[in-house]
């Protein structure tokens, strides 16, 4: 009926056991009840903080915030205050308004020991990134570097390098930023301790996503996701899944990206992580734009834009605008596409975001060429080339070379396109390669080099069909038909036949997980897994998990086989002549 320290101790032990086996909701309830029964205010504050941490990982953000407020009001211990504010600030960066999280974290960091201060300031810097505030991000990252102790742990060194690298890339020295992130990747690949803190896991995925290189840091993505799923941490998953989906959407795994985004959006809604929700909505809208799914894209972009305005998330706002531009470009409406991309460019300039990877210049060049606005296309291409050269990363360099090739004189066209394709080989983005091949083939066909044009157009069509980029596949198919090619329609792929949730379940089971393990990883019941598995078997006309693994393996292996054909140099028609 009142305080009882022995009962409180027993309940706290139950909370520890629950947390250790990833039963976070159970742990949160046990820690909270233990705190209520504690006689001492400081002990009660510590237990309520433990309850808040477990509630957050269980996906109960609102309850976690309430418990943190109560814990902070009880404690006079400065160390406990910092711990409370670290979690409160972290939650605010996921729920929004994101700069409220930045304010909490930066204030608390000044009272923390240097190691923890660096961790908190990195989290604060990520809030600036989402808000699209490169100046505040640079200040925050610089403060983290100032506080970094000489004998800092790998965790602190990794986060300081990541925050600095991202800040430089967003609005400063992009080349130095890329170098800092390369250093961070080396630390992450050699330090297993980075996978122990669930709040840090998203940073492991951010590094390779930022670099967009074929080989650098790719293993970190799966390691981070496996660590979060193994510990069933709902609170840590939405942003992590968003980042994994972003990576999948910029490689050749679009069906998986749609499934991952769908799961991220669902978990973000359930756990009230509205900042992570805006990421998922804008990212999925961008992916569906490239697939030509018009109504779904517009609905997602509209919801994302409203959330971004409410929460002060300008960076994802640029993604949602870009999604609408990509949709119009794919649907063959270059004038509407140009309006969206120009809107995006103005917003980036107002924010002071200079990262060339966020620039809509390649899409603007294509829209301008289609509209006959050649002078505008040349200006956009020149600015893109200068920024891409300064950063020195292959993804933006390849896109820049494609734009230069589209605008080149006859004598330089083949050289520029071949250079673009060579640089593309250093990146995992199959869609961008296919777009370059399509532009190359279009230029060849209009110059009456039909045989050589077919080589590029055929490779582009095959890639677009593998990705299910329908508007782009139709455009490549039309170009091939105009070149005299006899075409056949492809058969639907395995990924097209399964819903996003079915694909997620199939991938878990094909990877060797049991029904219970897959259910735990995807936060479903074993009965739900079995229900969907029966539908998967029916759709794929198979009857065992061995066959499921074989079918999926065959599909992904086929999707990764790119056509390496290259066209020969020759005299090609210029954009000005086409206009």
Query: What's the rounded Cα separation, in Å, for the pair 210 and 172?
Result: 15
Q: Which of 477, 493, 509 is the last residue of a domain?
A: 493
Whether 180 is covered by a domain: the verdict is yes
In a domain, 295, yes or no: no
The pLDDT of residue 569 is above 80: no
Q: Are residues 24 and 92 in the same domain?
A: yes
Name the domain boundary from 234, 259, 291: 234
In a domain, 290, yes or no: no
Record the pTM: 0.86
Across the range 292-302, mean pLDDT stands at 97
pLDDT-derived band at 576 (thresholds 50, 70, 90) equals very low
For the stretch 313-368, pLDDT in tens is 999 999 999 999 999 999 999 999 999 999 999 999 999 999 999 999 999 999 99
The answer to the question of residue 474 being in a domain is yes
User: What is the model's pLDDT at position 454?
Assistant: 92
Distance CA 384, CA 389 (A): 8
Say what the pLDDT of residue 62 is. 95
**Which residue is listed with tokens 């205010």?**
41
Cis before 97 (ω within 30): yes
**CA dist., res. 262 & res. 254, Å (int):** 12
Query: pLDDT tens, 62-81?
Result: 999 999 999 999 999 999 99
Is residue 365 exposed (0-12), middle (13-18) or buried (19+ Cβ within 10 Å)?
buried
Residue 503: which CATH number? 1.10.10.10
Task: Report if residue 260 sits inside a domain.
Answer: no
Please check whether residues 315 and 461 belong to one and the same domain. yes
Same domain, 177 and 144: yes
Residue 563 to residue 130: CA distance in whole angstroms:
37
Is there a single domain that holds both residue 419 and residue 525? Answer: no
Q: Are residues 388 and 443 in the same domain?
A: yes
Residue with more model confidence, 537 or 480: 480
Please indicate, yes or no, whether residues 54 and 194 belong to a single structural domain of this protein: yes
User: Does residue 240 contact residue 224 with C-beta atoms inside 8 Å?
Assistant: yes
pLDDT in tens, 170-205: 998 899 999 999 999 999 998 888 888 888 889 999
- Give the angle 364-369-372 at the CA atoms, nearest 5°: 125
pLDDT at 141 over 50: yes
Same domain, 513 and 395: no
Of 82, 7, 80, nearest to 41 (Cα)?
Answer: 80
| Mean per-residue pLDDT of the chain | 90
Same domain, 222 and 146: yes
**Token digits of residue 495:** 């990924």
* Claim to verify: residue 203 and residue 313 sit in the same structural domain: no
The CA-atom distances, in angstroms, between 528 and each of 225, 320, 478, 520, 534 are 22, 33, 43, 11, 10
Which of the residue ranges 30-44, 129-143, 537-551 would you say has the lowest mean pLDDT?
537-551
CATH number at residue 440: 1.25.40.10
Lowest-confidence pick of 88-92, 205-209, 432-436: 205-209
Q: Is 245 part of any domain? A: no
Confidence of residue 555 (pLDDT cuts 50, 70, 90): low
What does the alpha-carbon distance between residue 414 and residue 408 come to, in Å, rounded to a whole number?
A: 9
Closest CA to 347 of 127, 126, 43, 132: 132
**Which positions ≥6 away from 152 have C-beta within 8 Å?**
114, 115, 118, 160
Residues 107 and 223 in one domain: yes
| Chain position carrying tokens 């990833």 | 22
442 and 350 within one domain: yes
pLDDT band, very low/low/confident/very high, at 153 (cuts 50, 70, 90): very high
The pair of three-digit structure tokens given for residue 481, joined into one six-digit string: 């038909």
Q: Of 188, 219, 234, which one is at a domain's C-terminal end?
A: 234
Nearest 10 degrees: Cα torsion 305, 307, 310, 314: -50
Q: Which domain range does residue 335 map to?
A: 301-493
Task: Note whether 420 and 398 are same-domain residues.
Answer: yes
Q: What is the pLDDT of residues 492-528, one digit of tens each?
A: 555 557 877 788 788 888 878 888 888 777 767 787 8
What is the distance between the alpha carbons of residues 146 and 216, in angstroms, rounded to a whole number? 28
CA-based nearest residue to 201, from 255, 243, 148: 243
Question: What total of structural domains would you count in the chain?
Answer: 3
Domain for residue 239, yes or no? no
Query: Rounded mean pLDDT of 43-56?
Result: 97
**Residue 256, domain member (yes or no):** no
Pair 406, 439: CB distance under 8 Å? yes
């Amino acid at each position: 009926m009142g305080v009882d320290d022995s009962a409180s101790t027993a309940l706290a032990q139950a909370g520890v056991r629950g947390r250790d086996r990833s039963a976070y909701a159970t742990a949160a309830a046990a820690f909270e009840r233990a705190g209520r029964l504690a006689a001492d205010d400081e002990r009660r504050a510590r237990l309520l903080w433990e309850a808040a941490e477990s509630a957050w990982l269980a996906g109960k953000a609102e309850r976690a915030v309430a418990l943190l407020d109560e814990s902070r009001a009880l404690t006079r211990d400065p160390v406990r205050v910092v711990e409370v504010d670290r979690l409160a600030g972290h939650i605010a960066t996921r729920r929004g308004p994101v700069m409220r999280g930045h304010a909490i974290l930066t204030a608390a960091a000044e009272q923390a020991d240097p190691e923890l201060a660096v961790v908190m300031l990195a989290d604060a810097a990520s809030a600036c990134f989402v808000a699209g505030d490169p100046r505040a991000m640079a200040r925050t990252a610089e403060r983290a570097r100032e506080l970094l102790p000489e004998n800092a742990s790998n965790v602190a060194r990794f986060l300081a390098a990541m925050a600095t690298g991202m800040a430089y890339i967003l609005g400063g020295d992009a080349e130095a930023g890329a170098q800092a992130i390369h250093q961070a990747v080396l630390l992450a690949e050699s330090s297993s301790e980075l996978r122990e803190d669930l709040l840090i896991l998203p940073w492991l995925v951010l590094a390779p996503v930022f670099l967009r290189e074929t080989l650098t840091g790719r293993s970190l993505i799966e390691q981070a996701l496996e660590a979060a799923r193994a510990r069933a941490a709902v609170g840590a998953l939405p942003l992590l899944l968003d980042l994994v989906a972003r990576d999948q959407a910029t490689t050749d795994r679009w069906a998986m990206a749609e499934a991952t985004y769908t799961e991220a959006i669902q978990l973000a809604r359930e756990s009230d992580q509205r900042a992570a929700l805006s990421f998922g909505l804008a990212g999925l809208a961008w992916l569906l734009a490239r697939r030509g799914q018009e109504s779904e894209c517009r609905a997602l972009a509209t919801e994302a834009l409203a959330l971004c305005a409410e929460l002060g998330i300008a960076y994802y706002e640029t993604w949602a605008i870009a999604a609408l531009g990509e949709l119009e470009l794919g649907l063959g409406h270059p004038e509407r596409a140009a309006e969206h991309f120009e809107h995006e460019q103005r917003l980036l300039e107002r924010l002071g975001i200079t990262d060339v990877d966020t620039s809509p210049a390649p899409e603007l060049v294509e829209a301008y060429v289609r509209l006959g606005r050649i002078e505008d296309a040349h200006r956009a291409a020149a600015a893109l080339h200068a920024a891409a050269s300064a950063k020195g990363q292959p993804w933006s360099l390849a896109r820049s070379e494609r734009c230069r090739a589209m605008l080149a004189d006859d004598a330089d066209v083949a050289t520029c396109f071949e250079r673009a394709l060579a640089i593309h080989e250093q990146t995992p983005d199959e869609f961008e390669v296919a777009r370059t091949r399509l532009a190359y083939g279009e230029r060849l066909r209009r110059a009456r080099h039909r045989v050589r044009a077919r080589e590029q157009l055929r490779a582009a069509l095959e890639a677009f069909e593998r990705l299910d980029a329908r508007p782009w596949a139709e455009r490549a198919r039309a170009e091939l038909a105009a070149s005299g090619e006899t075409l056949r329609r492809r058969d639907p792929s395995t990924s097209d036949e399964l819903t996003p949730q079915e694909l997620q379940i199939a991938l878990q089971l094909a990877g060797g997980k049991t029904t219970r393990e897959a259910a735990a990883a995807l936060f479903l019941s074993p009965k739900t897994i079995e229900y969907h598995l029966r539908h998967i078997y029916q759709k794929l006309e198979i009857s065992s998990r061995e066959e499921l693994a074989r079918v999926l393996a065959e599909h992904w292996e086929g999707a990764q086989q790119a056509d390496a054909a290259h066209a020969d140099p020759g005299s090609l028609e210029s954009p000005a002549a086409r206009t």
